Structure 1
Amino acid sequence: MTLRVAALTTGLQTPSSRFRIRQHIVPLADYGIAVREFRPVVNNDVDNVLRPLRPKGTRIRDFPPIYPLYFGLLALRLAARLPGVAASWRYDVTWLERGLCGGWPTLERLLGKPLVLDVDDAVWLAQPFGAKQMQRAAERADVVVVCNSYLADWFRRFCRRVELVPTPVDGDIFFPIAKPEDSAFIVGWTGTSANFPYLASIQQALAKFLHHAPEARLRIVADHHPADLNLPPERIEFIQWSEANEATSVQTMDVGIMPLADDAWTRGKCAFKLIQYMACGLPVVASPVGMTAEVLGRGDVGLTARNDSQWLDALIFLYEQRDKAKSLGTAGRTKFLEHYSRGANRQPCGGCPR
């Protein structure tokens, strides 16, 4: 008998929608689980949509002239969610990614059950009422599926069953390739423009490394070009992210980097960049924060860096010790296949409770 699942996702290009739900739809069908996605046509990130319309650095709550437009967009967002909410009562299981309207408790208590709540960030920090939204959603849920122990600890206060499932990558799409020996040495970073401040936090170390290694380049794969990096523009290779090039742009790097601050938000991150790098056989350098430290702790797959000096030393080491860098990348690919590949995570929706 086929189990029918209504998956309520947040957007077409949202990483959590793509990698925590959408990529599993076809494989789950082989197990008799038919997933239909209900995706809103209105973008969930109202804050970013309105950012150009308010003074830089000003929160929406501190700029009353924008209130009418903000609440109008919020109402449209909620209206776009109604088909999914209604469908949740016609299906056997509801699979909710994050929440219905980020930062606002709305109709989560009206969703059909059994309910699987899937979370891959510390979304309870979303303004203005993210904590209340996530508490209500978790209390309604039969199981909460999260990607790391930090998130699990928060949600266990509100739901009896919490499952840990990493955000997996398809190893048949993200895999190592051989680079020409005469190609430039590429230090790569991939992510959304919202995370540019983390990259900017190590720009002094990057500048010193690029001076040390004249033929090296910094590759940035993102939705738009970073405007505030104080680095020689001729040493930066920007690639406009697309679903078509996201794997190849990582495969042709030599080192993958993941700098982070250490705060409540970053501790909830799921080390997704790191997993992509490892899938492609890259040695990695990362800030040992949250799940990133856990992934690096699984084996000799990369180097940690907490300050500019350590970042510089790590990059120079991997640049000068190419054989060691290659062995770290090979070990990373092995650990990826064992723990973070799609094949190693076959129950993405917590077993889809019936």
Structure 2
Amino acid sequence: MAKVLLLGYDLDQPSFRHRMRSLEPALAAEGWQVRCERFPSGRYGLRTWERRALLRWADVVVLHQIKLSALEARLFGAFSRRRVFDFDDAIYVRKPRRLGEAADDSRWRRSKFIATCRFVDEVAAGNAVLAEAARPGARAVTILPTSIEVARYTPTQAPADAAPVIAWIGSPENLVYLQMIRPALAAVAARHAGLRLRVICSAFPDWPEVRVERVLWSEAGEAGALAGAHIGIMPLSDDQWARGKCAFKLLQYMAAALPCVASPIGANTEAVIDGVTGYHAADLRQWEDRLQALIGSAELRARFGAAGLAHVETHYAMAAYRRRYLAVLTRLAATVAAPGTRRG
């Protein structure tokens, strides 16, 4: 019976839940033993030494978003058999502190990223941008887009003739992207009495010119909150950090059959097919025009929403993600049992 250890800094973080926890049912069904364990973000070297028995237990260890220095990687390798580096953010740079600033591309951060890519047997990247960053040092790279359990979501039930509801879902630190398009949202709100911006989060903007509907995020309630909206939005800035994002909120919108408007940055350009499942909007004028077009046509919203649902079911379904990830882990575990193939 093969054993896999899924390591992350925070086991409750959305990224870990969507990419690691989501694998547990499929792995268990195939007879794998699975453990999800926290790995400290500090105490370099010592954190690996203290977990040596845990590392020896597993046939395959998956490091989710965890970067190791070259020195710690050698220690980690002494206690582990096969290793996967999984990430769905541009963790080789630091997120900009303010809009308009460049991402912090420090030599230390980049060197740990490269060292980890070289050290593992396989890199599992969330999108093509991240895969390209990993390729110079990696033995093997597989693109495994963060995917979604479509059945958890209900196609939008918002009345077509009701006052428009524009949805944004995300974490507090990403509200800065919503702030970017505040003027466009204000302009659209001025033309449509009753328009609401439904923010599904744990923090909320206070904009007098836009009616913000505050919906406290919960895993149990997010699908229902989206089912009552008309349009989903995902603005982004154009920097190294944003280009590496995996567009998960767009998948959520499409699973709820919502037409989307998104900045044409990174994975957004693959998730939203411009003019088919939604619109790309590169500047404030386009944001205003695209939102206005969708608000003004229930038929267009329905057509884009249906196309988006079909797109996410075809390309981002959780069942396919699990199947492909399981194939990677199975292939690596098989080499552990083969004579003379154990490394580290």
Same fold (TM over 0.5): yes
Please name the residue that 2:266 is paired with: 290
The correspondence for 1:347, drawn from 307, 324, 327, is: 324
Q: List aligned pairs for 1:231-250, cutoff 5 A.
A: 231-232=208-209, 235-250=211-226
- Can you give the 5+ residue segments of structure 1 that lack an aligned partner in the other structure? 45-73
Q: Which amino acid aligns with 1:307?
A: D
Residue deviations 1:259-298 (CA, integer Å, cap 9, x gap): 0111111111111111111111110000011111122238
Q: Which amino acid aligns with 1:201?
A: M
Contact 2:156/2:230 (CA < 8 Å) preserved in 1? Answer: no
Deviation at 1:83, TM superposition (A): 5.5
Please name the residue that 2:14 is paired with: 15
Contact 1:303/1:314 (CA < 8 Å) preserved in 2? Answer: yes
Aligned length: 316
- The reply on whether 1:95 has 2:62 as its aligned counterpart is yes
SS at match of 1:199: helix
The correspondence for 2:241, drawn from 258, 261, 265, is: 265
- Give the stretch that moved more between structures: 159-168 or 86-95: 86-95
Please name the residue that 1:333 is paired with: 309
Equivalent-residue separation in structure 2 for 1:132 and 1:239 (angstroms): 40
- The reply on whether 1:222 has 2:201 as its aligned counterpart is yes
- TM-score of the superposed pair, with normalisation by structure 1: 0.83
Deviation at 1:225, TM superposition (A): 2.1
Contact 2:67/2:116 (CA < 8 Å) preserved in 1? Answer: no
RMSD over equivalenced CA pairs, Å = 2.3
Equivalent-residue separation in structure 2 for 1:309 and 1:21 (angstroms): 39
- The reply on whether 1:116 has 2:84 as its aligned counterpart is yes
- The reply on whether 1:307 has 2:272 as its aligned counterpart is no
Deviation at 1:108, TM superposition (A): 3.7
Which structure ranks higher in relative contact order (CA pairs < 8 Å, sequence separation ≥ 6)? 2
Residue deviations 1:296-329 (CA, integer Å, cap 9, x gap): 2387100110111110111111111011111101
Seen in structure 2, the aligned counterparts of structure 1 residues 84 and 14 have a Cα distance that, compared at 3 Å, is: farther
Please name the residue that 1:53 is paired with: none
SS at match of 1:238: strand
Q: Which amino acid aligns with 2:29?
A: D
Q: List aligned pairs for 1:77-156, cutoff 5 A.
A: 84=51, 86-99=53-66, 107-111=72-76, 112-126=80-94, 129-156=108-135
Deviation at 1:231, TM superposition (A): 4.2
Equivalent-residue separation in structure 2 for 1:187 and 1:283 (angstroms): 10
Equivalent-residue separation in structure 2 for 1:80 and 1:222 (angstroms): 33
Q: Which amino acid aligns with 2:34?
A: V
Q: Which amino acid aligns with 1:256?
A: G
- Give the stretch that moved more between structures: 2-11 or 175-184: 175-184
- TM-score of the superposed pair, with normalisation by structure 2: 0.85
Seen in structure 2, the aligned counterparts of structure 1 residues 271 and 143 have a Cα distance that, compared at 3 Å, is: same
- Structure 1 vs Structure 2: percent identity of aligned residues? 33
Equivalent-residue separation in structure 1 for 2:186 and 2:120 (angstroms): 48
Seen in structure 2, the aligned counterparts of structure 1 residues 80 and 338 have a Cα distance that, compared at 3 Å, is: same
